[in-house]
Structure 1
Amino acid sequence: MKHFTRLAAAAVVGAVMGTAAVAQELYAPNLSYRTGPFAATGIPLMNGQRDYMLMLNARDGGIGGVPVNFEECETGYSTEKGVECYEKTKGRAIVTQPWSTGITLQVLPKTNVDEIPILAPGYGFSPMADGKVFQWAFNTPASYWDAASMIVQYLEAEGSLEGKKIAFLHLDHPYGKEPLPLLEKLSADKGFEMVPIPVGLKEMQNQSAQWLQIRRERPDYVVMWGWGAMNAGAITEAVKTKFPMENFIGVWWAGHDADLKIVGADGAGYKSISWSYPVLDAPVLADIKQHVVDAGDSMSNPEEMEGVFYNRGLVISMILAEGIKAAQEHTGNAEITAADLRWGLENLNITEERLAELGMTGMVPPFQTTCANHTGHSGGWMLEWDGEKFVKVSDLLMADAEVIQPLEAEKAAEYAEANAPWAVSETCDAES
């Protein structure tokens, strides 16, 4: 019955739009990185994204009756190659998915000219939340400043941070430096000392110098903004040096199952903030098995498909698909333009009811975007490694908007001034 209802609904959408019969494809390229030093974390994310779109194509004929072309352009996480991929794909693309804060920052100045929305779920430049200034950029459903705020909130629940010391172990890359403005403000406001400890790209697998510094500093907590091989290197080093794992917390890109499986039970207590969660009996996973895995079209495997990152990839493609769907319904056209998709992405309304319809209840918190709010600020959960898997150890945490929003506005204005002339929306209501 559910299958009939889904097909009937798709037929109605196609009939209303009228263009589905002659529609060609929705070109939504992904700037992937299945190679290079970050491949271990990139592959499960790319596989999840890809499987969700393949499932929509096989089950529903695409979105609104139009197949999705989810072509990948390999960057190896290189900013230079990422910009090349952007230039190569932008002629037909309705979206750019940069998959690196460095690539995002390089593409961002082009957005007002090229008018192609950037979709950077949970990454990129945090002030992109300000839709009045960044009309073409989206970091739904939560920003890096949201992550830093939620981590500090979680630590505060353990006791006052006044006089405490937090080591900030981070990749020495635009991604790793992104939360610094908010962490510096929170450090001043809450009275804790923050000790930045950068990890160079060539040091990711050998962090003995960084962990020697951590031993000398004797911090109360280590907060990690790691990625790829850096995460496994840090977790292994923490176990070796007997750092208390319950005081070690990572951002959502430092919560990869495979990295913790290297140390197994010795990693128990390690935590990671997350805006997504794998719900292994979710109906969407059954549909993916039926339409993609059983058809032999998936690049994933059963172990990976149980992990946080694969399932986050599903959520990321769902966000894009819902933006496309909203744009189709708004315009009445099945084949939408990049400008149409911008409207769709700033009118997302991912409610509990909608998540249930998508078969994704519990996989991401509900969130809503607007013309002025391009992030949605969904909140997230603290996950903890129990020795075998990540489990939720908190209720939904929400970032402190009173602290973050003024900083977003300030840094967005600085960006616009530094990149003048910069088009700012005059019609977007700041309260919307």
Structure 2
Amino acid sequence: MKLNYTTALAAGILSAGIAAPALAQEVLKLPNMSYRTGPFAATGTPHMNGQLDYMTMLNERDGGIGGVRIVFEECETGYNTEKGVECYEKLKSEGALVTQPWSTGITLQVLPRTNVDEIPMFAPGYGFSAMQDGRTFKWAFNPPTSYWDGASMIMQGISDGNLDSLNGKKIAFLHLDHPYGKEPLPLFETLAETHGFQFLPIPVGLTEMQNQSAQWLQIRRERPDFVIMWGWGAMNAGAITEAVKTRYPMEQFVSVWWGAHEPDLKLVGEGAKGYRAISWNFVDSESKLMQDVKTHVIDAGKSQLNQGAGEFDTTAYQRGILMSVILAEAVEAAQEEAGTPMITQEQLRKGLESVNIDEARLAELGAEEMMAPFAMSCSNHTGHASAWMIEWDGEKFVKVSDLLTADRAVIDPMVEKASADYAAANQPWQMNDDCAE
């Protein structure tokens, strides 16, 4: 029997920093898999803090969502896939409305379970890119944009919109040797074959993240025209440090959004000037959204964020805020459609398909220019938001492009094939035949 809410005594509610109500009451259980420990904690923690603080802010400012308080319990995985599966089973047994895997490896392990258990999976900006296909992946969502979208936008950014100009050039792909790092490989390989550039994958093992001398020796030897980084945690700081030390031209060094992490760049400061990343969010600490979080959570002493380290002003922390914005919008949409604040997993799934964060809604949220508008639907579980190319100016990231948009003509046929292959390999597989789009 699926649980659509949890009734609990105050002493029994563990909400990772969100105060429990004084009396027993109905709550919305929206747990998160976190990794505040391990080699990825430095980048994982600010994202977790941002996600948690937005939900705390809704509790403090609005009394929750639809008048029902949120329990945003965390289950620590250390970015370990086995622990992630254990967290999934634990949270499922407790009646979670949603699962948030927070790792592409965990996502791939949990994905078939969610299709059987009928629990929405919310993987904002990560996971299996083919999850955009809502007809095949009825319960999985990866808004506002996917890794294949991100790779496409990076290629447009480094080619000034003309990928044929990369013909004959060499592009190194420095990536974590993990499902996350391997996820964009099919798209890069397709683009290399189509546009005639040489694609050189350079994997970084989990034990090599802080000592990448072998990888950067290969980069010095190969002399690529661009290095694209798909790293996380300690790997990013190690790569940026090595790039500066080996004097690789920073304007030729570009990362996916996880590499837009100010603490890593501040380690080398001016030395990293010119380094770029594609990013679907942009920092605006003076926005109404962020000031509401500051007033109701930070200043009230209800946050775990590291104020002394300036975490509030980082891309990672504010990206975490926006991740929870998207989930909260889905909950609200589900409540409106269901006509009740106490929604089921199925109703939340439909709420996710109804998310429409347009310019007007961004203005209402106080988040103009912090992210691009996007909308999801029955068949589109990603939304395909545009993103900016941002650049390190020696002290902070600045926007250096207009919004870039992924090439759907290349990506969508790849998604169609990947989705069909996945469903065929995981029979019996539940499809969503209600999608008429």
Matched, 1:357 2:357: no
Out of 44, 47, 50, the position equivalent to 1:45 is 47
Out of 278, 284, 296, the position equivalent to 1:291 is 296
Task: State percent identity of aligned pairs.
Answer: 65
Out of 91, 96, 100, the position equivalent to 1:93 is 96
Structure-1 residue corresponding to 2:17: none
Structure-1 residue corresponding to 2:184: 179
Out of 120, 143, 146, the position equivalent to 1:143 is 146
Distance across 2 between alignment mates of 1:288 and 1:254: 24
8 Å CA contact 1:122–1:140 kept in 2: the answer is yes
Distance across 2 between alignment mates of 1:42 and 1:277: 18
8 Å CA contact 1:23–1:334 kept in 2: the answer is no
Out of 121, 125, 133, the position equivalent to 1:122 is 125
Letter in 2 for 1:183: F
Structure-2 residue corresponding to 1:24: 26
Distance across 1 between alignment mates of 2:24 and 2:67: 10
Structure-1 residue corresponding to 2:330: 323
Matched, 1:156 2:163: no
The within-5 A match list for 1:16-415 is: 24-91=26-93, 92-157=95-160, 160-302=165-307, 303-415=310-422
Distance across 1 between alignment mates of 2:403 and 2:57: 29
Distance across 1 between alignment mates of 2:50 and 2:432: 34
Cα offset for 1:301? Answer: 3.3
3-state SS of paired residue (2:238): helix
Kindly provide the CA deviation profile for residues 194-220 of structure 1, in whole angstroms up to 9, marking residues without a partner as x.
Answer: 000000000000000000000111100
Structure-2 residue corresponding to 1:3: none
8 Å CA contact 1:166–1:194 kept in 2: the answer is yes
Distance across 2 between alignment mates of 1:350 and 1:40: 30
8 Å CA contact 1:381–1:392 kept in 2: the answer is yes
Letter in 2 for 1:157: D
Distance across 2 between alignment mates of 1:406 and 1:111: 25
Distance across 1 between alignment mates of 2:157 and 2:298: 38
Structure-2 residue corresponding to 1:14: none
8 Å CA contact 2:285–2:291 kept in 1: the answer is no
**Equivalent residues, number:** 410
Cα offset for 1:264? Answer: 0.5
RMSD: 1.2
8 Å CA contact 1:23–1:335 kept in 2: the answer is no
Distance across 2 between alignment mates of 1:424 and 1:114: 14
Letter in 1 for 2:320: G
Distance across 2 between alignment mates of 1:259 and 1:158: 28
Distance across 1 between alignment mates of 2:362 and 2:233: 30
Distance across 2 between alignment mates of 1:164 and 1:279: 36
Output the TM-score relative to the length of structure 2: 0.93
8 Å CA contact 2:79–2:103 kept in 1: the answer is yes
Gaps of 5+ in 2: 1-22
Distance across 2 between alignment mates of 1:158 and 1:385: 21
Cα offset for 1:23? Answer: 5.9
3-state SS of paired residue (1:361): coil
Cα offset for 1:279? Answer: 1.1
Cα offset for 1:163? Answer: 0.3
Letter in 2 for 1:426: D
1:320–1:42 CA distance, 2 compared to 1 (3 A): same
1:158–1:150 CA distance, 2 compared to 1 (3 A): closer
8 Å CA contact 2:120–2:348 kept in 1: the answer is yes
Cα offset for 1:424? Answer: 1.1
3-state SS of paired residue (2:390): strand
Letter in 2 for 1:125: F
Kindly provide the CA deviation profile for residues 84-119 of structure 1, in whole angstroms up to 9, marking residues without a partner as x.
Answer: 000000131000000000000000011121111110
Structure-1 residue corresponding to 2:4: none
Cα offset for 1:425? Answer: 1.4
3-state SS of paired residue (1:285): helix
Kindly provide the CA deviation profile for residues 56-108 of structure 1, in whole angstroms up to 9, marking residues without a partner as x.
Answer: 00000000001010010000000011110000001310000000000000000
Kindly provide the CA deviation profile for residues 282-333 of structure 1, in whole angstroms up to 9, marking residues without a partner as x.
Answer: 1011111111112111111341110100000000000000000000000001
8 Å CA contact 1:94–1:341 kept in 2: the answer is yes
Output the TM-score relative to the length of structure 1: 0.94
Cα offset for 1:175? Answer: 0.1
Out of 419, 422, 427, the position equivalent to 2:426 is 419
Cα offset for 1:22? Answer: 9.6
Cα offset for 1:45? Answer: 0.3
3-state SS of paired residue (1:167): strand
Gaps of 5+ in 1: 1-20
